[in-house]
Amino acid sequence: MSHPHPELGPPPTLPEGGLRIVALGGLGEIGRNMAVFEYDGRLLVVDCGVLFPEPDQPGVDLILPDFEYIRDRLDDVEAVVLTHAHEDHIGAVPYLLRERRDIPLIGSKLTLALIEAKLTEHRIQPTKLEVIEGERHVFGPFDCEFLAVNHSIPDALAVAIRTPAGIVLHTGDFRMDQLPSDGRLTDLGGFARLGTEGVDLLMSDSTNAEVPGFVTSEREIAPVIDEVIRTSEQRVIVASFASHVHRIQQVMDSAARHRRKVALVGRSMVRNMGVARDLGYLKVPPGLIVDSRDIEEWPPEDVVLICTGSQGEPMAALSRMANRDHPIRIAEGDTVLLASSLVPGNETAVNKVINGLTRWGARVVHKGNAKVHVSGHAAAGELLYVLNLTRPSNFMPVHGEWRHLRAHARLAALTGVPEDHIVIAEDGVVVDLVDGRAKIVGAVHAGYVYVDGSSVGEITDTSLKDRRILGDEGFISVVIVVDSNTGKLTAGPEIHARGSGIDPMQFDEFIPQIERALAEKAADGVVDMQEIRRVVRRTVGRWVSDTYRRRPMIIPVVVEV
């Protein structure tokens, strides 16, 4: 297997007739999926998604791929192919189009409709091309064939990219549900046909590579959802991803069967389901949906609410209900159904929401105590099936954390892909397909770009470290006035502390230590203000550490006179 190395240097010039692949996100993580293909000086982008922040990234709303690698070459981008409409595949598109608005977006009807609704909020009118499975379209040197795949959102596609360097099959996110809710099967015949033609590089979804066997069919969830709604004596509140049309269809069907009204709660839920209904992907019986603002007029036993927040997101509807910070108040006897998977890293946030809901008397049904979710990603048995169908010359696992990528690589080796033809890359690692062989040849920068409110990229890792210190240890500010000519202290020190857990009265005993340290520096002729700040920070830090075993942020404020 070809492994990434932390000391990889910049890649060499791409050989003539070679294809270059650089993932700017989605490798070693669940989210931020974005791959850049280069042939003969032209670029094709597959997906452009976001990653959602973890608890150790306070204040961050979204994490984007770093576009620096292509920023000076945006005019070379032929198109952005979107495999499906999940946020981890389309969420960063508005930020890319801010840099070049006319990049063509290529995708299925639902995918383009959902991204267009998102772009409207950014006041961007996209250039787009709607495609369906079975079609082939040429974008510069890239001949793209689109194949149907089944996933947890309708209209998902895989893409086979043909160039003179060979055929690359990018599966996108997929599973092999043989009884899908919408009857749309993963095109295994198409995969087999490509295998016969010769797949030079397979890039395949790795999320469930550690899970043995085959994923349960979506249809098996419907009876469980129906049982929850049928037996609940008061309101049922269902939390789901705002893009999971199949799951929401099942909830609506059950609600209609038991004569309950449905209200959609949450801006993204209302927007996405409106688009899905208008395009015919969501079948809504007449009179089923009511406005969430009128929900209190209906008896609790006649109501189903469908909302966002299944991952414990702090600003989503369900979290706000759990915190009693939402117009809809959780009441004794309500049933809350978490009808989605648990994204790695969100366990603590979700458990907090479950506890909050339970506190107010709700019964919470979730994946841990009922069969209320099946994954949208292929398990190991399905991944082996695809590897055997396509018989790739080279293999590169994508979309997954490190453990998923390595597990998928082991599956590829079991099917006969030579180990030196298996490429395990990470974000920024450059892979060249030359003369039928895929190899790692270098690396480019592919860091995180943080979105915080309206600012994009202004928050750095250093900023986040400061925020974590402030949150965990608090801060201490020390104000002094210093003679700029002699370096002598003329007023202060004045000390203020917030969140540090230190009794302010203790500072009175400590101030003489600061005065002595500054006097010694002044006697040595030190008048440099940066050095004086360092003295204050070092002196205060040592005292706090020795006395309290704490490390708050220390902010010296030096006023020169």
Q: pLDDT of 193-228, one tens digit each?
A: 999 999 999 999 999 999 999 998 888 888 989 999
Q: Judge whether 407 and 205 are in contact, CB under 8 Å.
A: no
Task: For residues 362 and 232, give the distance between their C-alpha atoms in angstroms, rounded to a whole number.
Answer: 11
- Asked if residue 7 has pLDDT above 90, the reply is no
Find out whether 374 is annotated in a ligand binding site: yes
Residue type, 537: R
Which segments of 90-214 are extended strands (E)?
Answer: 105-107, 128-130, 136-139, 142-148, 157-163, 166-170, 201-205
DSSP string, 286-338: TT-B--GGGGGGS-GGGEEEEES-TT--TTSHHHHHHTT-SSSPP-TT-EEEE
Find out whether 254 is annotated in a ligand binding site: no
Q: Judge whether 304 and 238 are in contact, CB under 8 Å.
A: yes
Tell me what pLDDT residue 54 has.
65
Tell me what pLDDT residue 560 has.
78
Reading the block at residue 411, the tokens are: 């599956």
At 343, the pLDDT band (50, 70, 90 cuts) reads low
Q: pLDDT of 408-460, one tens digit each?
A: 999 999 999 999 999 999 999 999 999 999 999 999 998 888 777 655 756 66
Q: pLDDT of 277-310, one tens digit each?
A: 999 999 998 999 998 888 888 899 999 999 887 7
Tell me what pLDDT residue 495 has.
82
Which residues, at least 6 apart from 114, have a Cβ–Cβ distance to it below 8 Å?
85, 90, 243, 272, 275
pTM score of the predicted model: 0.83
Find out whether 134 is annotated in a ligand binding site: no
Reading the block at residue 335, the tokens are: 């049933």
In the chain, % of residues over pLDDT 70:
92
More confident residue, 533 or 438: 438
Tell me what pLDDT residue 242 has.
85
Tell me, letter by letter, the H, E, C secondary structure of 499-561. Answer: CCCCCCHHHHHHHHHHHHHHHHHHHCCCCCHHHHHHHHHHHHHHHHHHHHCCCCEEEEEEEEC
Task: For residues 336 and 307, give the distance between their C-alpha atoms in angstroms, rounded to a whole number.
Answer: 10
Find out whether 373 is annotated in a ligand binding site: yes
- Asked if residue 163 has pLDDT above 70, the reply is yes
Task: For residues 16 and 138, give the distance between their C-alpha atoms in angstroms, rounded to a whole number.
Answer: 20
* Other CB atoms within 10 Å distance of the CB of residue 357: 24
Tell me what pLDDT residue 468 has.
64
More confident residue, 326 or 43: 43
Strand order in the sheet with 166-170: 136-139, 142-148, 157-163, 166-170, 201-205, 395-398
At 490, the pLDDT band (50, 70, 90 cuts) reads confident
Helix and strand counts by DSSP (H, E) for the chain? 15, 25
What integer best gives the mean pLDDT of the chain?
A: 88
Find out whether 376 is annotated in a ligand binding site: yes
At 548, the pLDDT band (50, 70, 90 cuts) reads confident
At 542, the pLDDT band (50, 70, 90 cuts) reads confident
Task: For residues 522 and 487, give the distance between their C-alpha atoms in angstroms, rounded to a whole number.
Answer: 5
Among the listed residues 503, 514, 438, the one whose alpha carbon sits nearest the alpha carbon of residue 168 = 438
Tell me what pLDDT residue 312 has.
63
Q: pLDDT of 60-104, one tens digit each?
A: 677 889 999 999 999 999 999 999 999 999 999 999 999 999 999
Tell me what pLDDT residue 16 has.
95
Strand order in the sheet with 363-365: 261-265, 303-307, 236-239, 335-338, 363-365
Burial tier of 45 (Cβ tally within 10 Å: 0-12, 13-18, 19+):
buried
Task: For residues 435 and 447, give the distance between their C-alpha atoms in angstroms, rounded to a whole number.
Answer: 30
Tell me what pLDDT residue 465 has.
66
- Asked if residue 555 has pLDDT above 90, the reply is no
